[in-house]
Amino acid sequence: MAEQYNFKDEKGWHFPAWAALLISIMANLPVIDMVFHRVKEVGAESHVQVRHLPEFAFPGLLVQLLITFLFGYLLMRYLRNHQWNSEINKGFQWTVLWVVSGQFAIFFIMMSALILFTIHEVSWIISSVATRGLLVLISSVFLTNYMKIQSNREKIFHENEALKESNLQNQIEVLRNQLNPHFFFNTLNTLSYLISQDQAKSQLYLNKLSYVLRSSIELQQSDLILLTEEIKLAEAYFHLLSIRFGGNVMLDIHADDAGHYKVPPMTLQMLIENAIKHNVISTGQPLRIEIALDKENKSLTISNNLQPKVDARGAGIGLKNLDERFRMLAGRSPEIFSKDGKFTVVMPLIPAG
């Protein structure tokens, strides 16, 4: 299951403050306009007896701006710290709704009481205050969602950076397995033997070796590749192993419609190498590796008969790296288990498009 984002804000107050100030000014623009027109009219007609101060005089306007600002600021901070989704219980949602309604009610009462001293038209007060309150509420919800989107983008950016680091670690692991002296010693010895015995096979072996080394570097530049490309690389890599071990190693692949799915690069090669590294291989104990595509569950199963070496050692970097990459790219980890004399890895597949 994908991770739920935690949007709680412990320290960020700058954006809500500036946003609340902007909302306060925009919500009260008609009032600001009326203040300046009213003051201008009173100044132009100073000889007229004024019964009371204009209801939109500057002190009253400043108080209205302050109340609107506080309503918007507190509302955005509360909504930002109490975002809900479909998995949060109904009790929590009702609590949020009650708190937001309470804040709106306080705003409405304070603004109405302020204006009531100078205007006695209750219907006008209700319409004016309610309109401004709803404008602040809608703007706050919109800006809160905007902040949430920005936060999610930042989180995705950090996850992508972590994925790049994970891919780099995997690339180093693959290259270390391929380019170590033992690997070259075996491959070059095999190539030397084939050149003297079978030039056609030696040319094929050299082509496969070149393809494996080149592809292992090129494919690492992508986070995901088509399963068909991954299988093609695995078959080329297994060809080298089959020449080295003869009929003592067998690979069976059943993967129709592989072009409809994607996987992180080098996963199959790493698992094949893992099976070779940790199991006894001999004429009396041949190793069989099976790869099967399950279209119904959108998964790929890689298994081998379990005949572990006594002195087999490993840092466990490959399987750990595999788990991290699938968890980040597919949202779930591969299943790894040993059962009925078999070691099995079930990898989730990612649709190609």
Q: Please report whether residue 2 resides in a domain.
A: no
Q: Please report whether residue 1 resides in a domain.
A: no
Residues 205 and 149 in one domain: no
Residues 188 and 330 in one domain: yes
- What SS3 string covers 115-133? HHCCCCCHHHHHHHHHHHH
CATH number for position 249: 3.30.565.10
Residue 291 has pLDDT above 90, yes or no: yes
For the chain, the average pLDDT equals 78
Residues 144 and 195 in one domain: no
Q: Are 124 and 102 in contact (CB under 8 A)?
A: no
For residue 293, the surrounding DSSP H or E stretch is: strand 287-294
Residues 243 and 347 in one domain: yes
| Range(s) of the domain holding residue 222 | 180-351
Q: Are 207 and 240 in contact (CB under 8 A)?
A: no
Residue 130 has pLDDT above 50, yes or no: yes
- Residue identified by tokens 């936060």 is 151
More confident residue, 84 or 7: 84
Residues 300-319: pLDDT tens digits?
Answer: 999 999 999 887 666 567 78
- 112 Cβ neighbours under 8 A, 6+ residues apart: 125, 126, 129
- Residue identified by tokens 């070259």 is 184
pTM of the model: 0.52
The confidence band for 183, taking pLDDT boundaries of 50, 70 and 90, is low
Task: Report the C-alpha gap between 66 and 52 in whole angstroms.
Answer: 23
Q: Please report whether residue 34 resides in a domain.
A: yes
The confidence band for 181, taking pLDDT boundaries of 50, 70 and 90, is low
Task: Report the C-alpha gap between 258 and 279 in whole angstroms.
Answer: 28
Q: Please report whether residue 227 resides in a domain.
A: yes
Q: Please report whether residue 160 resides in a domain.
A: no
Residues 145 and 186 in one domain: no
Residues 21-64: pLDDT tens digits?
Answer: 888 888 887 777 776 666 555 555 544 444 444 444 677 778 88
The confidence band for 323, taking pLDDT boundaries of 50, 70 and 90, is confident
Q: Please report whether residue 333 resides in a domain.
A: yes
Residue 246 has pLDDT above 60, yes or no: yes
The confidence band for 8, taking pLDDT boundaries of 50, 70 and 90, is very low
Residues 147 and 198 in one domain: no
Q: What domain count does the chain have?
A: 2
Instruction: Give 324-349 as a DSSP string.
Output: HHHHHHTSSPPEEEEETTEEEEEEEP
Residues 111 and 186 in one domain: no
Residues 185 and 133 in one domain: no
The confidence band for 343, taking pLDDT boundaries of 50, 70 and 90, is very high
More confident residue, 286 or 204: 286
